[in-house]
Copies of this chain bind each other. A is one copy, B any other.
Amino acid sequence: MKQGKRSVTITDIARELSISPSTVSRALNNHPAIKEETKRKVITLANKLNYQPNLLALNLLNKKTNNIGVVVPEITSHFFAAIISGIQDILNASGYNIIMCQSNESYREEIKIIENLSSVRVDGFLIAPSSKTRKLDHFVKLKNSGVPIVIFDRDCQGLDVDKVLLDDYDGAFQAVDYLVKSGCKKVAHLGGSLSLSTSIHRRQGYIDALKSNNLSVRDDHIFHTKGFKHSDGIRAAKSLLKLKDPPDAIFAVNDRIAIAAMYVAKMYGFKIPEDISIIGFDDEPHSSYFTPSLSTVRQPAYSIGLLSARILLQNLSNPHDSPGFRREIFRPELIIRDSSRLRPDT
């Protein structure tokens, strides 16, 4: 078998048919001014030869690739995977393809990815910045180069582009307020990395909910983990529950940490929710199948993906004329299941 096979081009077809490449091109594109018979001949041969148009050449010519760059911190998280599904459903339907990249929460990798996607000339970007991203130069450059960008999930203060976010503050507030109203007096927080806007907002929502209920904020009842995995949660939950004066409720930054907290709580002999209520954040598919089923704050991940993609699509067809930028904030929904006590008044 020959290797490095040259792929077939319109010129090949043209030669074989003794016509010009432009005629082939037109036939393939169903140009009206081409004889039916010629079209048929061309198309038949093209199929036979398994001709695949070379989009590189076309894109170079058109200065348009129909590719969209999607950058997420990690894909192994149901949250981002669901967002991506939403994005894909919209973009594919409009004839766009997705080039998906993970930054692995690394600033360096993120920069490399952005540069690369720039070089392959994607038509637009959908980005959830890494948690390490402080400097915004790479995004600013992008923006200045005129490519449409939509930032989602994680805010980038000071970057003026379209954004689709979630009201993390509100979600946290709802959860903690509920916990207090249901009778918990000592609500602790297992938070995430404070380099993340989402973690910061959830923490603030927690704090403000306590204050608005005239409860004091106790430093020893707040832990922030580095990562978002179960193992991170286990460690933090142990420290928390080993306290002489342990909490009677935990609001966790995400479901994984909450699950870990449930695990530790049970291990230590706490009854859930009688001794301790636990609420997470995300509503992962598994969450409702735990015992007890996990109360949580649901993020409309799929919808976030849909909307982000739709906004990008708009910018694509109608390059930014308006001066302002959209800033869409989804409101999360508190889902009460069995890991938290019921409110007496409901």
Which residues of A come within 8 Å of B, CB atoms?
Answer: 1-7, 50, 52-57, 59-60, 63, 65, 67, 74-78, 81-82, 84-85, 88, 97-102, 115-116, 118-121, 141, 144-146, 229-230, 256, 259-260, 262-263, 266, 284-286, 289-291, 319-321
Contacts and interface: CB of A to CB of B under 8 A. Distances in A.
Copies of this chain, complex-wide, total 2
Contact of A146 (B3, B60, B98): B3
A257 to B, nearest CB: 11
A230 B75 contact: no
Given A81-B76, A286-B286, A54 B145 contact: no
8 contacts: A3-B321, A52-B119, A53-B119, A54-B60, A98-B101, A256-B285, A289-B290, A290-B290
Given A67-B99, A78-B78, 11 more contacts: A7-B121, A54-B121, A56-B56, A75-B81, A75-B85, A76-B85, A259-B286, A263-B289, A284-B286, A286-B286, A291-B291
Contacts of A98: 99-101
A100 B87 CA distance: 13
Contact of A55 (B53, B55, B84, B121): B121
Determine the main DSSP class of A at the interface with B. Answer: mixed
Contact of A259 (B3, B57, B289): B289
Contact of A291 (B85, B115, B256, B290): B290
A88 B284 CA distance: 24
B120 A56 contact: yes
Contacts of A78: 76, 78
A85 B67 contact: no
A120 B285 contact: no
Given A78-B76, A289-B260, A119 B7 contact: no
A60 B84 CA distance: 29
